[in-house]
Amino acid sequence: MLHNLDNTGRGFDPVRQMRFAQRDMSRLFDNLRVAAPPEFPPMNVWAGSDGAVVTAEIPGVVPEELDIAVHQNTVTLRGRRTAQPPADDAVVHRQERITGAFARNLVLPFRVDGDRVKATFRNGVLRLDLPRPEADKPHKITVSRI
Amino acid sequence: MSDQQPNGLQPAEATRSEPAFTPPTDIVETTAGVQMVLDMPGADPDTLDVTLDNRVLRISARSQSSGPDGYALVHAEYRDGSYERSFTVSEPIDVGRIEAVLKDGVLRLTLPKAAPSPAAKINVKAD
């Protein structure tokens, strides 16, 4: 490839030098990735031998209004944090809390037994117990000597 | 109301290794008082501490560990720790009627304004 030759010899090609510089810059910015903003709600996932436990921090949400759906290996969590409209004479000094609808999907590396999923809500933290179906659990095979 | 800033001072160091979080706060002021709403998910109501001292309102709580037994943490987006935040209150507050309710991880503080002291008439004596 001609343009990959080093710029040696007597001839100095400024156009080629610029092309090299451009390529170097493109490579530099190609590796740059802007970190994704954190999703709401923040979730922790715990794994065990008989399933997984997912905990999510969703303060101020009415647990009865949460929409939790389990389909095969996907868990979907939907909800809404309602904002209280301030009174007429109110002055808002700070508004830092997130409001609005949220939804998160979680794909697990195993199927979930939808009938035995348990959801508990305590102090603003939702805990989902996602057990694996009995038929899907790994079987221990004993080796017999002949 | 404003966040209390230690002007020109080194911030105090923590004695625990766990992180201290600043809970996101909504502050709304009406003629009757000041309403504060703080997000403190996982905060233990027994450890919640709200003090108003010399116009500095200090709120602190510790969050309970939510880790289930027999499970290993494989993905973490939040951590356990303590919540801490303090505010400087500019209005005179009726300390006796402050209400604090912690429900579903949200702390609601109602700070009623103190009744203004009645205007005092000062008699001027003329010599």
DSSP for B24-93, written as a single string: -EEEEE-SSEEEEEEE-TTB-GGG-EEEEETTEEEEEEEBPP-PPTT-EEEEES----EEEEEEE--S-B
Q: Which residues in chain A have their CB less than 8 angstroms from residue B30's CB?
A: 87, 89-91
Q: CB-CB: which of B24, B28, B76 is closest to A90? A: B28
- Going from the N-terminus, what domains does chain B have, and what CATH number goes with each? 17-64+80-112 (2.60.40.790)
ipTM: 0.77
pLDDT digits over A62-117, tens only?
Answer: 888 899 999 989 999 999 988 877 777 888 888 888 888 999 999 998 899 989 99
Whole-number Å distance between alpha carbons of A48 and A54 = 11
Selection from A130-139, B41-50, B57-66 with the highest mean pLDDT: B41-50
- Measure in Å the smallest separation between the Cα of A110 and chain B Cα atoms: 14
The angle subtended at Cα B83 by Cα B81 and Cα B86, nearest 5°, is: 155
Residue listed under structure tokens 């951590």:
B79
What are the structural domain ranges in chain A? 43-84+98-135
* Res. A9 pLDDT band, cuts 50 70 90: low
CATH number for A43-84+98-135 (one of 3.40.50.1820, 3.90.1150.10, 3.40.50.300, 2.60.40.790): it is 2.60.40.790
> What integer pLDDT is reported at residue A29 of this predicted model?
77
CA angle B57, B108, A77 (to 5 degrees): 130
